């Protein structure tokens, strides 16, 4: 009898848990559904019948949105992809060194690098802009790639070092016995075994840089080099009225690259967080 009552309580708890998760899921998707509804309306429908469904459906809003943001999307993919690739290469190499080697001042240097996480990025905005200006990189892709590469190093190093430290030492001993160099051990053992954490770093950095607004707004003034987060604020007609429908359609189109990215990297992303990012 006691076991039966315990089982019923357990089933009741599971049902409540599923109901709570269902409510949270619905609350999460409500803004997304309404974003889609707004993207199919014109300004008259939005201001006059805000809560109603689109009638008629204005599918041409997606074409208008694509005309405005297709180039900024390519700019964002180029700058985010390049900076993320550079971050992965540098952070994986430095993480391997900190995890698998001993040298004087190792822990002190590592602690000093991690201390950079305590500095709010807004404090370095003006000094970084002055540096970019003095280097003559304003209105170039390098004004985005270089700061994003350096800015992602600390967090990426933390994850890579934590994961590399968990790899079995026997693999590297066997490689040394076979005559492999350190670079070969890194490329043929550490990197393949660390695919989950590298994908995790890539996803985090791509999402972070792709959504950047403040820094591109400061260093990029040319529309040809501007990124999508800033371009999404530029849906203004010739008479100075914001076209909300095409703007909402632009938001949906701009999110598609991240949705595709996360769809392909979700499995490795979850494995990386659980296997490497949470280990000391």
Give the count of beta carbons closer than 10 Å to the beta carbon of residue 66: 15
Q: What is the pLDDT of residue 274?
A: 59
Q: Look up residue 137 and give its two tokens.
A: 């990189």
Range of the structural domain that residue 161 is part of: 59-277
If DSSP states are collapsed to H, E and C, what string results for 210-261? Answer: HCCCHHHHHHCCCCCCCCHHHHCCCCECCCCCECHHHHHHHHHHHHHHHHHH
Inside any domain, residue 174: yes
Inside any domain, residue 37: no
Distance CA 223, CA 232 (A): 12
Q: What is the pLDDT of residue 44?
A: 85
Range in 15-24, 71-80, 188-197 the model is least confident about: 188-197
Inside any domain, residue 47: no
Inside any domain, residue 36: no
CATH number at residue 114: 1.10.3720.10
Place of tokens 């357990």: 10
- Predicted model pTM: 0.83
Q: What is the pLDDT of residue 50?
A: 81
pLDDT digits (tens, 9 = 90+) for 207-250: 999 999 999 999 998 888 999 999 988 776 544 567 888 889 99
Q: Look up residue 199 and give its two tokens.
A: 């994908």
Inside any domain, residue 254: yes
Confidence check: pLDDT of 277 > 60 = no
Counted domains in the chain: 1
User: Got the DSSP string for 69-98?
Assistant: HHHHHHHHHHHHHHHHHHHHHHHHHHHHHH
């Amino acid at each position: 009898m006691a076991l039966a009552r315990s089982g019923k309580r357990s089933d009741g708890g599971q049902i409540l848990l599923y109901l709570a998760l269902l409510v949270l899921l619905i609350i999460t998707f409500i803004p997304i559904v309404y974003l889609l509804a707004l993207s199919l309306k014109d300004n008259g429908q939005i201001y006059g019948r805000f809560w109603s469904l689109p009638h008629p459906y204005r599918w041409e809003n997606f074409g208008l949105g694509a005309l405005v943001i297709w180039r900024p999307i390519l700019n964002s993919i180029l700058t985010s992809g390049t900076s993320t690739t550079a971050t992965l290469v540098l952070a994986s190499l430095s993480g391997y060194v900190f995890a698998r080697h001993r040298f004087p001042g190792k822990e002190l240097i590592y602690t000093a690098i991690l201390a950079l996480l305590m500095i709010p990025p807004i404090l370095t905005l003006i000094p970084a802009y002055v540096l970019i200006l003095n280097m003559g990189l304003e209105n170039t892709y390098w004004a985005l790639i270089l700061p994003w590469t350096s800015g992602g190093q600390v967090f990426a190093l933390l994850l890579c070092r934590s994961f590399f430290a968990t790899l079995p030492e026997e693999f590297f001993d066997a490689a040394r016995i076979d005559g492999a160099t350190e670079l070969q051990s890194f490329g043929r053992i550490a990197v393949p075994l660390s695919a989950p954490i590298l994908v995790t770093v890539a996803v985090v950095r791509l999402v972070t840089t792709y959504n950047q607004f403040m820094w591109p707004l400061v260093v990029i003034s040319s529309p040809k080099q501007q990124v999508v987060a800033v371009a999404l604020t530029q849906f203004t007609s010739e008479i100075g009225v914001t076209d909300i429908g095409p703007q909402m359609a632009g938001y949906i189109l701009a999110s598609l690259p991240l949705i595709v990215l996360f769809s392909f990297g979700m499995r490795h992303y979850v494995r990386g967080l659980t296997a490497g990012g949470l280990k000391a």
